[in-house]
Amino acid sequence: MSQRADYDVVVVGASLAGCTAATLLARRGLSVALVERRAGAGAYKRVCTHFIQPCATPTLQRLGVAEAIEDAGGVRNSLNVWSRAGWLVGRHRRPDGESSYGYTIRREKLDPLLRSVAAQTPGVAVCPGLTVTRLLAERGRFTGVVARDRDRSERRIRARLVVGADGRGSATADLAGIRPHTIPNRRFLYFAYYRDLPLGSGTAGQMWFAEPDVAYAYPCDDGLTLLACALTKDRLEMFKAAPEIEFARVFSQLADGPPLERAEQVSPLIGKLDMPNAHRRAAVPGLALAGDAALAADPMWAVGCGWALQSAEWLADHAGAALSGEGPLDSALSRYRRMHRRRLLAHHLVCASYSSGRRLMPHERLLLSAGVRDSVTADRVAAFGERMIGVHDVFSPRSIARALWALAFAAARPPAAIA
């Protein structure tokens, strides 16, 4: 562990957002202390469905880890969506004409990979086994942290910028007095891993809007498939009474559902019972938040990993330029805060709205139904699901008009499109 007391940046949390921010900031020639309360280099987030949306693929490529993810068995992902109208199969296209893709890889592989990249980046000092207990502040801005090690001795780490990347229940944000705006989540989620589970979509993931319930299947590394279901909380007690039976029942009732009897369940059921939607102000003088510390959405939509990577990259670009002498830091943090809000908040509110347990709204059902018939609508819905376009783009008058045209005039596409 480095004993240096002063850094350009101290990043609290060595998971996806923290490691990404630390790596990109250090590549600018800045000194970064990466503080992590867990001591083991192989530590990883255990309760996560690890579907990295295509919106974050450019960040992984910039980090230089995309090839390593594939070498570790990570699957290039895409998603087919079922509603009562049938299967929607859309593909957003990159500028080079190829279909966009993200990755599905378990966190036990991804987290140590990104932590290793950060640790090997010149300028990053990894500080494991430290728990932040206090923030340092001078003249109305944050200037560092006080952290306690396992022997309960304290260490002061001063920095020009403090980054909180310590997850949904961010202690950094709480210590800074940045309170979350929360929206209740009236669904609970259970998931498990299966080996050798055949899907009609091949390596593409599948998602079912079996209103009001939702289920999905994500192929991932080592020949495994993650199955998950998000159900309304009025069913929680019944589910907890016989979770294995109820979980299997959910998938047995799905259209074109995966044949669980032909696969081996290789993990226990893992539950997320209370995951409120929360967003915080992403930056104040001397301190910024990234990943779930800034915005924690309903996990059903699998946006957490991608947004952690993206928000860390945005922060590194804005703050890194200022810390390198290109303008005032607080102005850069204000730009980051505005960008974070502009790019993510509307998506977050849509996710939070559906977490109420409601059924699809008419405009949502319209687009899903039209996407079954019309490839243009399907591709637009896919781009929204991959978080490549915004809420106003997918629900624009032009999109709605195209969907209405498709329902009136387009011929139904063959259901074999999911294969």
In this model, does residue 3 exceed pLDDT 70?
no
In this model, does residue 415 exceed pLDDT 70?
no
Which one, of 124, 3, 138, 9, lies nearest residue 63 by Cα? Answer: 124
Report, as an integer, the average pLDDT of 273-292: 97
CA angle, residues 296, 135, 32, in degrees to nearest 5: 80
Q: Give pLDDT, residue 416.
A: 42
Q: From CA 287, how far away is CA 18, in angstroms rounded? A: 13
Report, as an integer, the average pLDDT of 392-406: 96
Q: Write out pLDDT tens, residues 203-249.
A: 899 999 999 999 999 999 999 999 999 999 999 999 999 999 999 99
Residues counted in the chain: 419
Q: Are 166 and 18 in contact (CB under 8 A)?
A: yes
**Domains of the chain by start residue, with CATH:** 6-44+106-182+277-349 (3.50.50.60), 187-272 (3.30.9.100), 362-418 (no CATH)
In this model, does residue 413 exceed pLDDT 90?
no
- C-beta neighbour count of 111 within 10 angstroms: 23
Q: Give pLDDT, residue 414.
A: 59
Q: Give pLDDT, residue 95.
A: 74
Q: Give pLDDT, residue 5.
A: 55
Report, as an integer, the average pLDDT of 113-142: 96
In this model, does residue 89 exceed pLDDT 70?
yes
* Sequence-separated (6 or more) residues with CB below 8 Å from residue 280: 170, 173, 178, 179, 180, 181, 289, 293, 294, 295
Tokens for 330?
A: 């607080």
CA angle, residues 61, 389, 85, in degrees to nearest 5: 115
Q: To the nearest whole percent, how much of the chain has pLDDT over 70?
A: 97
Report, as an integer, the average pLDDT of 391-409: 96
> Where does the pLDDT of residue 97 fall: very low under 50, low under 70, confident under 90, or very high at 90 and above?
confident
Q: Give pLDDT, residue 41.
A: 83
